[in-house]
Amino acid sequence: MLLLLASVLPQQVRAISCSGAEQLMASIWKELSAGNVSGAEQMLHEMKRTLADCPEVILANARVAAANGRPAEAEDFFLRYADLVPRDAKAYSYHARFLLERGQYLRADILSTQALERDPNDVVALAVRGEILDMKGQTQEGRELLEKACRLDPQNAEAQFRLATIYDRLKRLADAVQHFQKVVEADPQDARAWDYLALDLEPLGEVERADLAYRKGLAANQPGPHFDAFLDYNYGRFLMKRNDLTASKQHLDRAVELTPDFRAPWYERARLNLRLKNNQQAREDAERAASIRDSRGIIIDLQLYVLLGQIYARLGDAVLAEKYAKLSQRTPVPPRKD
């Protein structure tokens, strides 16, 4: 009887010592996802107080340290947790997510594989490895892993977001909308997802839903991991197309403040100012846009030359208007990127 008690007692003690850990861990993860590190720290303090002997305290320490910008400390906690519970898939999957966010793709891929070897249904590992495979050009394989992650845990906002971005890139907009909608239902503070959702709803003809998504995204757009610097730019363009020029200008003004080194916001505000007959401001914005290289081809040189020609014609500068008219004629349309 004594031998039997001795063999059972450690498991019983661990179960007791970790009772309630899962709920606290979920709350900490939720706070971190929303960018509320101080809230996560308060919960971690409570976890340390009530569950001091639970190994999951070390894992929570790792994630909070990572969110606080202390990567060396986070790395140490992740390794300590893996040493303590080497058979737990979480010891590798959350570490893999941390490494992926720091651009250490090879280690992240290795650790996500190790997590899946221990638990092929580990949602975090499936999402990490799926994202990496997509980045390596193995989009079909990556998508399958992300789809599995979403089936296993429809509330996993990160897996839903990564799968939705694949559908967005493939122009499967209805599928993208479905998954971005699940992201914002799981995490209403994810401004990136609201922005994507609005962008994909508009070409589907759901303009009012798009408008609502933009406004909800702007309300949620706070500094943190889900901050979207281009949300004001996208909403400003949307409002300009709806002929709400005053509101459009407010958002495009904000856009050039947030992303001054990108060509597109300056170009769109120049177009808007031309429509508002703010001709001198339109000229300044268009010239600023022309000074910024756009390697992604969002706003091509030809578009700028046409706009500058229109602006200088409006200003009565025949020489510069003719210059940009000729540049427009000589500049070929670049080949379309598939």
How far apart are the C-alpha atoms of 314 and 318, rounded to whole Å? 9
Cβ-based neighbour number of residue 271 at 10 Å: 22
pLDDT band at 12 (very low <50, low <70, confident <90, very high): very low
CB count in 10 Å sphere of residue 113: 15
Average pLDDT over residues 266-273: 98
- Give me the pLDDT at residue 22, please: 81
In this predicted model, which residue has the larger pLDDT, 217 or 52? Answer: 217
At residue 168's C-alpha, the angle toward residues 334 and 160, to 5°, is 150
What gap in Å lies between CA 189 and CA 116, rounded to an integer? 29
The mean pLDDT value for 116-135 works out to 97
The alpha-carbon radius of gyration of the chain (Å, integer) is 25
Q: Which long-range contacts (CB under 8 A, 24 or more apart) does 22-29 make?
A: 22/56, 24/51, 24/60, 25/56, 25/59, 25/60, 28/60, 28/63, 28/64, 29/63
Which range (3-7, 167-171, 175-179) has the least confidence?
A: 3-7
Per-residue pLDDT band for 286 (boundaries 50, 70, 90) equals very high
Per-residue pLDDT, averaged over 123-135, amounts to: 97
> pLDDT class for 302, splitting at 50, 70, 90?
very high
Q: What is the pLDDT of residue 244?
A: 98
- Tell me what pLDDT residue 14 has: 45
| 5-9, 249-253, 320-324, 330-334: the lowest-pLDDT one | 5-9
Report pLDDT for 30. 79
Provide the sign of the torsion angle of the four alpha carbons 234, 163, 67, 104, taken in this order. negative
With bands split at pLDDT 50, 70 and 90, how would you rate the model's confidence at 336? low
- Tell me what the mean pLDDT of segment 76-80 comes to: 95
Beta-carbon neighbour count of residue 30 at 10 Å?
17
- State how far the Cα of 195 lies from the Cα of 141, in Å rounded to an integer: 26
Of 20-24, 133-137, 146-150, the one with minimum mean pLDDT is 20-24
pLDDT band, residue 111 (cuts 50/70/90)? very high
* Mean pLDDT in residue range 276-286: 98
What residues have CB less than 8 Å from 260, skipping those under 6 apart?
none
Residue 254 reports pLDDT greater than 70? yes
Instruction: Go through the domains of the chain in sequence order and give each one's CATH number.
Output: 49-136 (1.25.40.10), 247-331 (1.25.40.10)
At residue 3, does pLDDT exceed 50? no
Instruction: Render 260-313 in DSSP notation, one character per residue.
Output: TT-HHHHHHHHHHHHHTT-HHHHHHHHHHHHTS--TT-SS-HHHHHHHHHHHHH
- High-pLDDT (> 90) share of the chain, %: 75
> What pLDDT, on the 0 to 100 scale, is given for residue 337?
59
- For the stretch 42-58, pLDDT in tens is 888 888 888 888 888 89
Average pLDDT on 201-208 reads: 98
d(CA 200, CA 176): 7
Beta strands in 111-189 (DSSP E): none
- Tell me the mean pLDDT in the region 296-310: 95
- Whether the CB-CB separation of 191 and 211 falls below 8 Å is answered with no
Per-residue pLDDT for 15 more than 60?
no
Map residue 122 onto helix, strand or coil: coil
Q: Where are the alpha helices (DSSP H) in 170-278?
A: 173-186, 191-201, 207-220, 231-241, 245-258, 263-275
Contact by Cβ (8 Å): 130, 150: no
**How many other CB atoms are there within 10 angstroms of residue 210's CB atom?**
22
| Residue 185 confidence (pLDDT) above 80 | yes
Print the SS3 string covering 33-67.
HCCCHHHHHHHHHHHHHHCCCCCHHHHHHHHHHHH
pLDDT at position 10 over 80: no
Stretch 266-295: mean pLDDT, rounded? 97
pLDDT reported for residue 17: 63
Q: What confidence tier does 32 reach under pLDDT thresholds 50, 70, 90?
A: confident
Rounded to whole angstroms, how far apart are CA atoms 41 and 45?
6
- For residue 241, with 0-12 CB atoms within 10 Å meaning exposed, 13-18 middle and 19 or more buried, which class applies? exposed
Quick one: CA dihedral 235, 241, 245, 249, positive or negative?
Answer: positive
Alpha-carbon distance 236 to 217, whole Å?
13
Residue 109's pLDDT band (cuts 50, 70, 90): very high
Instruction: State the amino acid at position 148 in one-letter form.
Output: K
Rounded to 5°, angle at Cα 207 from 223 and 303: 75
